[in-house]
Structure 1
Amino acid sequence: MSDLTFDIKSLETLLRESNDESSDDEDQPIKNLSAKLGPGCIGPNKKETSYTQEKNNLYAKKQSKNIWDEDEVEAGAEYDTSDDPRIQPEYDILFKQKLSSEELFLQMGNKTAATSSCEDMVIKIKLPGVEKVSEIDINTFEKFLDCRTLNYRLGLHLPHPVNPKTSSAKWDQKNSTLIVTMTMNREYDFVNF
C-alpha cells in the first residue's frame, strides 16, 4: 500500500467519524467542561508575552531615571501642602450663570439652579493682612488652583474642570479678598446651553 492510499484512507475515516457524530451532537453530554472553564477564563484573554519581551520591558524601566512610573503617582500629589507651615485661608466657591431676560422673567430657557447650568466658577479667597496684589502668587490649572502669599497657602482641587487660559482675578482691597473667576470646561456643555 502506498503512502497516498494510506492518507486517503485516514482522511476517509476522519470525515466519516465527524459526520456520524454531527447528527447526535446536541444529545451528547459535554465532556470535561469543568476542566476547560475556571476563574481564569473570565474576562478578556491575556496577551501572551514572551520572556524576552518581559525582560526588555524590565530593562527599559531600569534604564529610565524616573523614580516612579506615572501610574504610581496620585493625581494632584505634586501640590501636597502637608509640610507647609502657612495657614490655609477661608474661601467660598460660587457658581455663576449668564441669564437672558427671557430666562429671567419668562422662564423660557432650559437653565436651572443646578451647577450644570452654570458657565463660570467664582472662588473668593479671604486674605486678611495682605496689603498689595503684588504679594499674591496665583496659578490656575485645569483641575487645581494654587494661591500663595507670605502667610497663606491654598491648594484647592476644583469640583469641575476649568479653562485656565480664560481665568481672571480681581483684588478687593476693602475686604482683603481675591476674587478668581474661571470658565468651566465640561464635556456636555453643548447639551446644557
Structure 2
Amino acid sequence: MELYGESGITALANLLTPNTADSDSDEDTKPGGITKLGPGDIGPKQSTQPAESQLKTVKKEGKDIWEEEEVQEGAEYDDIHDTRPQPQYEIIYKQAVTSEDMFLGMGNKTPATSSCEDMVVKVMLPDTKYPDVNLNVTNKYLDCRTPRLRLGLHLPHPVDAKNGKAQWDGDKGVLTITLRMTRDYDDFNF
C-alpha cells in the first residue's frame, strides 16, 4: 500500500470522515421523525420574549445617576482634591481566648478571623503630636487626619463605632484604634 500517493490520501480521508449511515449518535432522529427527549424538555417551554415586567423601567426622581445602595458608605469623606499622603497602617484581628478555649477545647473558636471579636487598626503617624490628630469612625469607615497625613479607610467588616477606643503612643508615633466588630451570628460567631 502506498502511503503518500493518491490512494493513500483517499484511504486516510475515508478513515477520518465519519460514515453517516452507520452513526449511533444520540442526536439521530427516530424513524417516525421524533427526536430524543432530554432533561431540558421537562416542564413548560420558556419563551424567548422578555416578560413585560422586565421591560418596564423605573423612573428616577431627580437627577441622581447612582442608586442609594450603589454608593459606598463613607464615600462622602473621600476627598479627591486632598493631596496629603496616606500614612502606613495595619489591621490586626483580636479575639478573647479563655481557659475553656485553650485547655478544654469546649468552644467553637478557631484561629480564623471569623472567630475574632475585635479589629485593631494601627496607624503610623511619625512626627505628629496628639492634639493634631483628628479621628472619626463610622460603622464602615475610618477617617484619620493630621496636618501632614490623611487616612480614609473603608473597613473590611462593620464595627460598633460608638464603643471603640483609641490609644496614642507618642514615643513611636502610633495611633492604635480598637473596634468591636458587629457580625451576624452563625456557626463561627456566637
**What displacement does 1:153 show?**
0.4
Q: Secondary structure at the match of 1:102?
A: helix
Please say if 1:138 is aligned against 2:129. Answer: no
Q: Is the CA contact (8 Å cut-off) linking 2:108 and 2:188 kept in structure 1?
A: no
Q: Larger helix proportion, structure 1 or 2?
A: 1
Q: CA deviation at 1:174?
A: 1.4
The answer for unaligned runs of 5 or more in structure 1 is 1-32
TM-score (norm 2): 0.66
Q: Name the structure 1 match of 2:16.
A: none
Say if 2:124 and 2:175, in contact at 8 Å, map to a contact too: yes
Shift of 1:173: 1.1
Q: Distance in 2 between matches of 1:148 and 1:68?
A: 30
Residue 68 in structure 1 maps to residue 64 in structure 2: yes
**Equivalent position of 1:17 in the other structure:** none
Name the residue aligned to 2:152.
155
Q: What root-mean-square deviation, in Å, do the aligned CA atoms of Structure 1 and Structure 2 show?
A: 2.8
Normalised TM-score (structure 1)? 0.65
Paired letter, 1:153: R
Give 1:167 deviation, angstroms: 1.1
CA offsets 1:5-48 (integer angstroms, 9 cap, x no match): xxxxxxxxxxxxxxxxxxxxxxxxxxxx99x932314xxx6189
- Cα distance in structure 2, aligned partners of 1:175 and 1:48: 61
| 2:34 corresponds to 1:38 | no
Equivalent residue for 1:99, pick from 87, 97, 107: 97
Q: What residue in structure 1 maps to residue 14 of structure 2?
A: none
Equivalences for 1:55-134 in 2 at 5 Å? 61-62=61-62, 67-68=63-64, 71=67, 74-75=71-72, 76-131=74-129, 133-134=130-131
Structure 1 stretches of 4+ with a deviation exceeding 6 A read none
The percent identity for this pair of structures is 44
Kept in 1, the 8 Å contact 2:183–2:189? The answer is: no
